[in-house]
Amino acid sequence: KAGVTQTPRYLIKTRGQQVTLSCSPISGHRSVSWYQQTPGQGLQFLFEYFSETQRNKGNFPGRFSGRQFSNSRSEMNVSTLELGDSALYLCASSLFQGRRVYEQYFGPGTRLTVT
């Protein structure tokens, strides 16, 4: 079974631009979460989607948004990029069933650099 895939793997943007990142979960997984990882900060929770609905979101400004499609693929968008948005963006999917509700499977991430 294929793992979680994220595209693109690397991205360089300039301040003020917007960016869209894509995530394809493991087949059959309906929950997709997004995280931002920066040095020393660990993984910061952005939002979680299940069956095309955002069920929860973290403490990020409205410039960060996302969506999920009927095939469970998800995208996140960051508008008006700032230097501080430079980070590794990780997507994780979950089967969200039974005892394995909380186990998440991560993609390799998208490294975003804002100049």
Partner 1 sequence: DQQVKQNSPSLSVQEGRISILNCDYTNSMFDYFLWYKKYPAEGPTFLISISSIKDKNEDGRFTVFLNKSAKHLSLHIVPSQPGDSAVYFCAASTNTGGFKTIFGAGTRLFVKA
Torsion of CA 56, 104, 78, 61, to 10 degrees: 40
Strands of the sheet containing 64-68, edge to edge, are 5-7, 19-24, 74-78, 64-68
Which residue, 49 or 78, is less far from partner 1 as judged by CB?
A: 49
Least distance to partner 1, CB of residue 90, Å: 6
Please give the Cα distance from 81 to 16 (Å, whole number). 5
Site string for partner 1, 14-53 (x = CB under 8 A): -----------------x-x-x----xxxxxx--x-x---
- The reply to whether 109 sits near partner 1 by the rule CB under 8 A is yes
Tell me how crowded residue 97 is: count the other CB atoms within 10 A of its CB: 11
Q: Output the CA torsion sign for 24, 28, 32, 35.
A: negative
The residues in 48-107 that bind partner 1, with binding defined as CB under 8 A, are: 48, 50, 55-56, 58-59, 90, 92, 94, 96, 101-107
Contact positions toward partner 1, by CB under 8 A? Answer: 4, 31, 33, 35, 40-45, 48, 50, 55-56, 58-59, 90, 92, 94, 96, 101-109
